[in-house]
A and B are shown apart, each in its own frame.
Chain A
Amino acid sequence: MASTVGSVEQAAAFELKGRMATLTVLRLLTPDNDTLNRQLEAKVAEAPSMLRGLPVVLELSAVAGASADQLALWLETVRGQGLVPVGISGAGEDVATAARERGIGVFPELFGGERQSPKPGSSRRSAEPEVLPGRVIDQPVRSGQQVYARGGDLVVLASVSPGAEVLADGNIHVYGTLRGRALAGVQGNREARIFCRSLRAELVSIAGQYQLSEHLGGDGAEGPVQVYLEDEALCIVPLEA
């Protein structure tokens, strides 16, 4: 009898896989729910087969100061038009909390505050290599905070606390202890790496391949390390002095 129970427990019920998926972002440009409803209805009527059942992320950075109540309305509207809201992004803490309570995921800032609208005449996308500046943070990244370096590297000159999350399209450098979650190459760049002075992370991920803290080697990971992707596996190796 005991063995039956044992074998039942041994068969893994699930696997956690880090995979990138493309999601449609519904960027709200007005807080007005009626307008949203009307225009969404028209859009869905144009391409019902494409839009019905489509998972979307509600991006709210353009409707600053949104409230939890407004979020409830918008979610209802979006669902009412047959879309499936799976997450939100770009909202304040109150709205994010309300979303989590409704089982809606909260994504990192998809449109960073520093995003500029393209200047007229800047369309000469020549062969010039595009070097994005990356982001430098000189304060600790604290629990509940999230920092995303869009299109480049992220450099943190302090520590990343447990419960904090740092993300970058490029590499992540942490010149303190990395205790939170670090996700490099979040748009799928498999060459991205994570460097830190000391690794006590809850999670590290490169291009969607991740490892949770229990597999990070615990006390063995004292001292500076780098994390990179080789084939399908994350490698965590000490940095030689």
Chain B
Amino acid sequence: MSKIVVVTSGKGGVGKTTTSAAFAAGLAKRGFRTVVVDFDVGLRNLDLIMGCERRVVYDFVNVINGDANLNQALIKDKRLDNLCILPASQTRDKDALTQEGVEKVLDELRESFDYVVCDSPAGIERGAMLAAYYCDEAVVVTNPEVSSVRDSDRMLGLLASKTRRAERGEEPIREHLLLTRYSPQRVDKGEMLSVDDVREILAIELLGVIPESQAVLQASNAGVPVVLEESTDAGQAYDDAVARFLGEEREHRFLVEKRGFLGRLFGG
């Protein structure tokens, strides 16, 4: 059965788009027919991170307005042939996405894909709620700092009350916590909240911890979802998270600084 997964956070710049790309690629790598949808109208970052920005012809808003059909707008990933991207438009008009339009497109995507991953814009306003409204599962991306945790908490409250499942009294959305940009050294120094602090406040299942990593920026500059960079720490952490999302048990890694003094001196 097809599932809609929203990647959301409240706070901006915490790693939603990075996560959406990694998750979609990770699911596709495991054989699931996956599409990742950019809901960030006006900013359009996902196609850059997926490395397909030059192949964008039509976008989400074109499909909603009937200027193009879905097949014309979907971009097939070059690396994984069961992965597609539905880019956002560059239009300035945030109201271009309508509730009915979004529902229609998502319903159509459900027919041909196992997973529909929705990359939410920041905030808790209309755009973010549109991305979340129809979801079955939510990956709540949080950085280990007070303001990000607070925003994630708000978003969890909205997921539990302002989504279609909530409004219809259906089974609640499955909520997953993904802690990103985690730096064990900074936690030790007391500059960041620890995994346990964040878990205690948000009180939802921990899907994974993604370390703060150079590999993320390098991958996004190269237009490769970081999960496909299998030798990197962030790539492995995302792979673990996708595995857990699918029900596999995996030990949490990257929670402590492993390298010793010399390793830190010489390590890259």
- Which of A143, A158, A176, A177 touches B154 (beta carbons < 8 Å)? A143
Smallest Cβ-Cβ distance to A144: which chain B residue = B154
What is the bound-complex CA distance between A228 and B145, given in angstroms? 34
* Alpha-carbon distance A143/B11, docked complex (angstroms): 13
Contact, CB under 8 Å: A161 / B201: yes
Q: Is the CB of B150 within 8 A of A143?
A: yes
Give bound CA distance, A140 to B202, whole Å.
9
Please, how many angstroms separate the alpha-carbon atoms of A158 and B160 in the complex? 14
Query: What secondary structure prevails in chain A residues at the interface with B?
Result: loop
Q: Which of A143, A176, A177, A179 contacts B157 (CB 8 A)?
A: A143
Q: Are B150 and A162 in contact (CB under 8 A)?
A: yes
Q: Are B201 and A179 in contact (CB under 8 A)?
A: yes
| Interface status of B7 (Cβ within 8 A of chain A) | no
B151 neighbours in A (Cβ, 8 Å):
143
Measured in the bound complex, the distance between the Cα atoms of B201 and A158 in whole Å is 11
Interface size in chain B (residues, C-beta < 8 A): 13
Query: In the complex, which of the residues A139, A142, A161, A179 has the most CB atoms of chain B within 10 Å of its own CB atom?
Result: A142
Complex Cα distance A144/B154, Å? 6
Range of interface residues on chain A?
10 to 19
B161 to chain A: which residues have CB within 8 Å?
145
User: B145-186 CB contact bits vs A (8 Å, 1 = yes)?
Assistant: 000001101101110110000000000000000000000000
Inter-subunit contact B157/A158 (CB<8 Å): no
B203 at the interface (CB under 8 A from A): yes
In contact, B203 and A159 (Cβ under 8 angstroms): yes
Residues of A contacting B201 with CB < 8 Å?
159, 161-162, 179
Nearest chain A residue, comparing its CB with the CB of B126: A94
Cβ contact within 8 Å between B154 and A163:
yes
- Distance between A42 CB and nearest chain B CB, rounded to angstroms: 38
**Docked complex: A160-211 residues within 8 A CB-CB of B:** 161-164, 176-177, 179
Q: Closest approach, in angstroms, between the C-beta of A97 and any C-beta of chain B? A: 9
Establish whether residues A144 and B203, one from each chain, have CB atoms under 8 Å apart when the complex forms. Answer: no
Contact of B160 among A139, A164, A179 (CB under 8 A): A139
Distance in Å: Cβ of A179 to nearest Cβ of chain B: 7
B203 near A143 with CB under 8 A, answer no
Contacts of A93 in B (CB 8 A): 124
- Residue in A closest to B172 when the chains form the complex, CB atoms: A139
Contacts of A144 in B (CB 8 A): 124, 153-154, 157-158
Within 8 A of A (CB), among B196-232: 200-201, 203
Chain A contacts for B203, CB-based, 8 A? 140, 158-159, 176
Rounded to whole Å, the gap between the CB of B181 and the closest CB of chain A is 21
Set A142, A177, A179: member contacting B156, Cβ < 8 A:
A142
Residue of A nearest to B156 (CB): A142
Within 8 A of A (CB), among B40-88: none
Which of B124, B151, B154, B160 lies at the interface centre, i.e. has the most chain A CB atoms within 10 A of its CB? B154
Chain B residues proximal to chain A, CB less than 8 Å = 124, 150-151, 153-154, 156-158, 160-161, 200-201, 203
Q: A93-B124, A142-B154, A162-B153 are in contact. List 16 more A-B contacts (CB 8 A).
A: A140-B156, A142-B156, A142-B157, A142-B160, A143-B151, A143-B153, A144-B158, A145-B157, A145-B161, A159-B201, A159-B203, A161-B150, A162-B201, A163-B153, A177-B200, A179-B201
What are 18 A-B residue pairs whose CB atoms fall within 8 Å in the complex? A140-B156, A140-B203, A141-B157, A142-B156, A142-B157, A142-B160, A143-B150, A143-B153, A145-B161, A158-B203, A159-B203, A161-B150, A161-B153, A161-B201, A162-B150, A162-B201, A163-B150, A164-B157
